[in-house]
Structure 1
Amino acid sequence: MMEKAKTAVLAALVILSLVQSYLLAYSMPGLGTTISSAQDYVNAEPMGQEEKVENLIFPEDIVLHMGKGKHTVFYPGMNFYNLIYNKIQSREFKGFQQSPLSVLDWNEVRDRDPGVELRFGSGVPVELLSKALKLEGDMQFNNDVINRIWIFESSGKGEVRTYFFSADGTKVYESVKADLTAQDVQMYVGYGEYQTPYETAGNDLYTPVGPVEATESIVSYMTYSPEQMQRNLFFDPGVTRTISDRSGSQIYTDGKRGLQVEQNGKWISYTDPVAGQGQDDSESDNVYESIKFINQHGGWDGVHRFLHSGPLQAQTVRFQQYYSTQFYGSYPIIPNEPFQFGEIKLRLQQGVVSEYERSLITLQKKAVSQDVRWLPGGETLKDELAQYSRRGEVKALYPAVLASPADDNRLKLEPVWAVRLFDGSQQVLLPAIPGGYKPKPGERGGGPAVPLGSAANGASDAGASAAGAADKSGSNANSQRR
């Protein structure tokens, strides 16, 4: 009896083995089939911090219009910038009605009506903007790109009007059901009472009437190794090989993907020749995929802002890095060429990353040293802008930091006035005044030469002092916003 049982069990095992062999040989569908995506990667060790889309979208600057031709400008990370933006993020915007850009005389509104203008540089698709602000609009509005939001109290009427400007420069959308009051606008405008006054310089540019306080920093950094990125980006790092080219850079490749390491191991360019999948490119979808990709492959170092590349470049996604100072807010970083730093750039084909460029440098949160510098204002800045060889291409003027490599794994971050051109490139317009010297009224880079104690001079000096005081809590406020 026992022998029969053993024989039956053995026969069953043999039959089961034959069935399994048949299934493996002929790959019958529906039985444990595993589908892998076009971009599978090993689970490498975590690197930088992860980020969300709502933290990567914020205004390039905020302009306050105080009536009677008076203006001031706040930049990211400044205390009053964060106060205003946080309050606007808590409001609701509904009932959008489209009008041509000429619906109002905007130059008249700018000089006459108290208001606040949030400017998003080259623009943000509404689908992404709605992750940072509470928006509810129709299909036409939701498919547009917005480059500024203007909220103002209509002169003599006591009503608040809110307009969203299309980046194409032809139309605006009025939110007739915006959750804002005249008291809100008056509070925003009140923040600018003792700040540095700014003047219009044409093409929606503003220049300060006097010098602007900034800081020069020396910052230590660490770097991720090329081997870490290799393990992170290649499905099977064991089959990759290394090639050195004539320029001295190294290339890792598995026969399909390539990882080029430049700048003494501090900059990478990754390529993956993915096959197109037949659908149209969506910039918003590409941004989401880019953020997900960066979260998994390198992470983020500090504050970054999404840069819209334009309607003809939906496949390109860019994020600019900012350097956050303890006292004076956050500056966009511009590399001192040929040094490469301060931007993450990706290219996607039908939602799949095919190119990825970034620095492997991670800055330390606390600077080794910081020194006060003054960015020239007044006629000096206006003259420099007027004489700039590409003046007709200038879209924006703002303070930034110029990043240069220094000794002992450190970067030197020097404050500068920078311009952004129509093609999206950034250039240094004017450096800070050397040695920490603050020019006096009437001196080059200083405010207007007026008698001491006059209203104009008092406003300029008070503005500069108040700007510094306000910014000294900017870093903490920026951390809270994020």
Structure 2
Amino acid sequence: MERVKSWLLAFLVALSLVQSFLLAYSIPGISTTVRTEQDYVNTEPMGAEQTVEDVIFPEQIVLHFGNGKHTVMNAGDLPYYSSVYDKLKNREFTSFQKMSPYVVDWKEIRSANLGLELSFGSGIPVELLRKVMKLQGNQEFMADSVDRIWIFRSISGSGDEVRTFFFSSGGQAVYESKRADLSVQDVEDDVGLGAYLTPYAVTEDGLYVPQEPVEAAEAIVGYDAYPPDLMQRNLFFDPGTTRTLKDRSGSQVYTDGKHALQVEQDGEWIRYTDPAAPQNNEQSGSAGSNVSSGVVAAVVFINQHGGWDGRHQLQSTADASTGIGKSLLFGQYFRLDANRSFPILPGGGFRFGYMKLTAQQSVVTGYERSLITLSETPEAKVVRWLPGGTELQKALGGFSRRAEVQALFPAVKAEPLEHGKLRFDPVWVVRLSDGTRQTLTGALPAGFDGSAYKKKLSGRGLLEGTGPLSADNGGASGATTQGGSASGGNPAGTQQGSGAGEAPASESGGSPDGAQ
């Protein structure tokens, strides 16, 4: 009997130990969970999410047909633009060799060789571009920034071949990919997509100008706006600790003592600052890797705090005005229909169409954006035509900062109307060497029929006689090739010193990056 009691007691002690183990290690929630500010993500649904790959794409793709003929695909010219760019994103470019930009006669290549150019505006770090394209190169190439990729068919005694060059943003070097996964047939197919697009001529300084009016549209679009208190709950770790103030301008300010959220423009624009964010060492790593980590952090931050209203493009990676970190500008596109969209240029003092963030490597310290969300389809739209040919050339020739113009493209200017509506007016926009964007000229008078005008020309194919323009009809006055040789010329005809500068707003419809 005593032996049975002993065995029973031992069994009960063992069972007690097993239960204690299960209680300590197997029941969820037994440990304490501490929520930190870095882990906090508000779950209230707002805009859609995007990836870094979604916001990096060329400003323009220029197609060269040879015989001095060209056309341009702007980033909103779908689906042809997407067809070309999507193909290139899936090809590999390796074995890069650095060389002087003046060893190739680029003017001759532009005029005579079948090919295409991808323009990335003020430039993009290779470290960031490789997130979109399959690039593999040495450390020097990966640490550089590029503003243009030029692919062309080269004819030699040994047969046709494809050559591919990446242009450094500083204009002092080009990198040739000695192993590019492209065939002559690939280049011919891509260029063939533009056979019936609007013909463009090229100025002496490498600016592409359409030789016919370009079809666009004026549209009226309804919109909603997120309430500011939703952004307050989204951006603050503990919204219950925030208080509301009024600044001298009458703007509403939310603050918890460390962060500040300023609400402006009748509750449709916000400016968020986090001065208490850790000050990362900006000197560590290459400039390209610092920009890359900042852009990745910015995209994630926007995904978590407001999301994206439609398509956006990374347009500037300039140094912040404070001298610490990078100022990142994401420009919005207005979707007119399934096949066309246009970059938005804010009109006058109305802030809309961009998001601006300040990032110190992987930490976002500043955030500005509109709370407006556009309706998916316009309430009304009417075809309008932007001028081309002589009229556009005259507008360029009379532009006060003509020597600084580095790109010309169609856009829309946003103007607020009553009752929750915006009007989008088509305009020609120029990008200047300091990164700013300004309106060059507006649309032709309402009722102008560009299709009838085109019928008077040589069909829908490329026009005859679309060679280089002179200084008198839109070329830069006194433009000379950079770096000496008249036969070599500056790569792609661009001017030196094109930095990714801040883009301050202007009364004439300038870009917004200077809003402080």
| TM-score above 0.5, yes or no | yes
Partner of 2:89: 89
For residues 241 and 35 of structure 1, do their structure 2 counterparts lie closer, same or farther at Cα, with a shift above 3 Å needed?
A: closer
- The superposition leaves residues 379-422 of structure 1 with CA deviations (integer Å, 9 ceiling, x where unpaired) of 11111111101112212111000001012211101110001122
SS of the aligned residue for 1:230 comes to helix
Count of residues in correspondence between the two structures: 423
**Which residue is 1:20 aligned to?**
none
Cα deviations across residues 46-87 of structure 1 (Å, max 9, x unaligned)? 211111001110110100010010000011232211111111
Give 3-state SS (helix, strand or coil) of 2:408's partner. strand
The match for 2:282 is: 280
Q: Which amino acid aligns with 2:217?
A: T
Q: Distance in 1 between matches of 2:456 and 2:216?
A: 25
1:294 corresponds to which residue? 302
Counterpart residue number, 1:415:
426
Residue matched to 2:232: 230
CA contact 1:41–1:232 (8 Å) conserved in 2: no
| Candidates 270, 273, 280, aligned match of 2:272 | 270
Q: Aligned residues: percent identity?
A: 51
- TM-score w.r.t. the length of structure 2 is 0.78
> C-alpha separation between the residues in 2 aligned to 1:42 and 1:64?
45
1:305 aligns with 2:313: yes
Q: Is the 8 A contact 1:375 1:415 kept in 2?
A: yes
2:202 aligned to which of 185, 190, 200: 200
- Whether contact under 8 Å (2:125, 2:143) holds in the other structure is yes
| Contact 1:58-1:305 at 8 Å conserved across structures | yes
Q: With the length of structure 1 as denominator, give the TM-score of the two structures.
A: 0.83
The list of structure 1 runs, each at least 4 consecutive aligned residues, that deviate by more than 3 angstroms after superposition, is 31-37, 39-42, 275-278, 310-314, 452-461
- What secondary structure, in the 3-state scheme, does the structure 2 residue paired with 1:295 have? helix
How far apart are the structure 2 equivalents of 1:354 and 1:378? Answer: 46
d(CA) in 1 for partners of 2:279 and 2:248?
36
Q: CA deviation at 1:202?
A: 3.6
* Residue 467 (structure 1) aligns with: none
Residue equivalent to 2:128: 128
Shift of 1:364: 1.1
Shift of 1:254: 1.0
CA distance in 2, matches of 1:72, 1:49: 34
- Alignment map for 1:400-479 (pairs within 5 Å): 400-438=411-449, 455=458, 459=462
Q: Is the 8 A contact 2:214 2:450 kept in 1?
A: no
Q: Is the 8 A contact 2:280 2:360 kept in 1?
A: no
* Cα 1:453–1:405 shift into 2, 3 Å: closer
Q: Corresponding residue for 2:53?
A: 54
- Note closer, same or farther for the CA distance 1:327–1:386 as it changes in structure 2 (3 Å cut): farther
Alignment of 1:92-131 (within 5 A): 92-131=92-131
Tell me which residue corresponds to 1:173.
Answer: 175
Alignment correspondent of 1:475: none
Q: Does 1:331 align with 2:342?
A: yes
Q: How far 1:35 moved relative to its partner?
A: 8.4
CA contact (8 A) 2:427 2:443 kept: yes
Structure 1 letter corresponding to 2:315 = L
Aligned partner of residue 382 in structure 2, secondary structure: strand
Q: Give the structure 2 partner of residue 64 of structure 1.
A: 63
CA contact (8 A) 1:230 1:259 kept: yes
CA RMSD of aligned residues (A): 2.3
Secondary structure in structure 2 of the residue aligned to 1:118:
strand
- Which residue pairs with 1:191 in the alignment? 193
Matched, 1:321 2:332: yes
Question: Displacement of 1:428 after TM fit?
Answer: 0.7
Amino acid at match of 2:182: L
Residue deviations 1:320-341 (CA, integer Å, cap 9, x gap): 1011221652211011020000
Q: Any stretches of 5+ residues in structure 1 without a counterpart?
A: 1-30, 464-482
Any conservation in 2 of the 1:224–1:360 contact (CA below 8 Å)?
yes
Deviation at 1:43, TM superposition (A): 2.6
By how many angstroms is 1:42 displaced?
A: 5.5
Helix, strand or coil at the partner of 1:235 = coil
